[in-house]
Structure 1
Amino acid sequence: MSHRHILIVDDEPGIAEIIGAYLEREGYEASWLSSGAAVMPWLATVQPDLILLDVMLPEVDGLSLCRSIRATSAVPIIMVTARVDEIDRLLGLEIGADDYICKPFSPREVVARIKAVLRRNAPAGTSEPAETGLIVHADRMIALYNGTRIDLTPTEFKLLAVMAAHPGKVYSRGQLLDHLSEGYKDVFDRSIDSHVKNLRRKLAAVAPGIEFVQSVYGVGYRFERAE
């Protein structure tokens, strides 16, 4: 059992309760705060092992909180957002977060991300269970499958990160283009197909028989996470 302490900061009780239940099932201790204003006073007396921090919070927003926490603490932080326009900022993790997750999400995916971040931040001589399946580390622009690194170009990585943030969601080529930042001006509508083809080939090389990125005829592409 882990006995690591996870702080959930989210103003939606239902989400916090579900995530807390999954964490406790995995042996973690979970605490919950529903207000951004309550976080800094709470952290003055309690030191969690990781903070799951929603972007949209009453009183003090998650982005401001992340910067405030980073001014005094290196505690791992995973940001949670439901706003598509925050994805580019969170992909760069310019605010000091360790990772991000987009709503809606699977509670099992949240637990897997928490384990991955704790494992990366574990002191020498300690360990978290080995990462399994496909893991996307947005902060380091690294994708792993069962611990094997997948050599992706920046464009391929960002396409994977965007689609993997919403498993099952169908993206048109135009929508995928919209998610690419100004640094990707060489990517045009139909060239998305070429980048996706290369991405799928690299994923298939490390995970034979698993089709993570699926074509949706006449529309575009979607990401499906293998169980």
Structure 2
Amino acid sequence: MAAILLIEDDPLVRRGLQLALSRHGHDVRTADTGEDGLREFRSAPPGLVVLDLMLPGIDGFEVCRRIRAEGEVPVIMLTARGDDFDVVGGLAAGADDYVVKPAQPTVLDARIRAVLRRSTGTSDGVRVHRDLRVDSTSLTVSLRGEPVMLTPTELRLLLTLSRAPGRVFSRQQLLEEVWELDYLGDSRLVDNCVQRLRVKIEDGSGAPVYVQTVRGFGYRFGPV
């Protein structure tokens, strides 16, 4: 299914997840430290990284930041806690999704497949909004003629919003359409992804043009 790099320092967890994900059809390489994980990532870039946040040496937050600085490979973080410190910190570092440990292999596999599907998009042509060009056939985005590098999740969010300019999407609707979470999911996934997307396509003036907040409701795509 996918070439996965699993970075996890606990040998029992690492081996268990490697075997389980392999049974689900994934090709899994492993590393037990952040330093080794980055070396593996650079030597043979995977299709997706599963990353434990609490690593010896370089921790998972810094590993995620370095991976994100070097490319758009999707990252799912493993966190021992579901609290704000781990979740918000990991999402702010550039992670696409998270799973709270102990991670059930079937749940992790489902989240992996959902993240990978976000890179497929839909084939409904090119849309131009002021200086922003969104091509959902080639899955490319450009701003003032310059390419914009987006992660699969950021791209899927932009595609979803830009297909219906002016329509207000609640956070739950975006969780269902972008993250494929059909239950009451974590709205922090949406908010952090919106923040990262704005950094890449907005002008930094503090008044977003393309991804607008509708207070009390959610987000919409402009200009309308």
| TM-score, normalised by the number of residues in structure 1 | 0.54
User: Which residue is equivalent to 1:86?
Assistant: 85
CA 1:117–1:16 in structure 2 vs 1: closer, same or farther (change >3 Å)? same
* 1:144 corresponds to 2:142: no
* 1:24 corresponds to 2:22: yes
User: Which residue is equivalent to 1:131?
Assistant: none
Distance 1:38 1:104 in 2: 23
Deviations along 1:164-200, whole A, 9 cap, x unmatched? xxxxxxxxxxxxxxxxxxxxxxxxxxxxxxxxxxxxx
The CA RMSD measured in Å over matched residues stands at 3.3
Structure 1 gaps of 5+ residues are: 126-136, 162-227
Distance 2:48 2:56 in 1: 21
Matched-pair contact (CA < 8 Å) for 1:11–1:33: yes
| Letter of the 1:89 counterpart | V
CA 1:108–1:160 in structure 2 vs 1: closer, same or farther (change >3 Å)? farther
What aligned pairs does 1:69-218 form with structure 2 within 5 A after superposition? 69-83=67-81, 84-90=83-89, 93-122=91-120, 141=171, 142-144=174-176, 157-158=185-186
Matched-pair contact (CA < 8 Å) for 2:87–2:98: no
Distance 1:160 1:69 in 2: 21
CA 1:45–1:88 in structure 2 vs 1: closer, same or farther (change >3 Å)? closer
Distance 1:38 1:11 in 2: 10
User: How far is the alpha carbon of 1:149 from its aligned partner?
Assistant: 7.6
Structure 2 gaps of 5+ residues are: 124-152, 158-170, 190-224
User: How far is the alpha carbon of 1:8 from its aligned partner?
Assistant: 0.5
Distance 1:65 1:50 in 2: 14
User: Which residue is equivalent to 2:34?
Assistant: 36
CA 1:101–1:148 in structure 2 vs 1: closer, same or farther (change >3 Å)? closer
CA 1:40–1:17 in structure 2 vs 1: closer, same or farther (change >3 Å)? same
User: How far is the alpha carbon of 1:123 from its aligned partner?
Assistant: 7.1
Matched-pair contact (CA < 8 Å) for 1:76–1:121: no
| TM-score, normalised by the number of residues in structure 2 | 0.54
Distance 2:113 2:181 in 1: 17
CA 1:56–1:124 in structure 2 vs 1: closer, same or farther (change >3 Å)? same
Query: Identity percentage over the alignment?
Result: 33
User: How far is the alpha carbon of 1:143 from its aligned partner?
Assistant: 3.5
User: Which residue is equivalent to 1:54?
Assistant: 52
Matched-pair contact (CA < 8 Å) for 2:61–2:89: no
Paired positions, count? 142
User: Which residue is equivalent to 1:13?
Assistant: 11
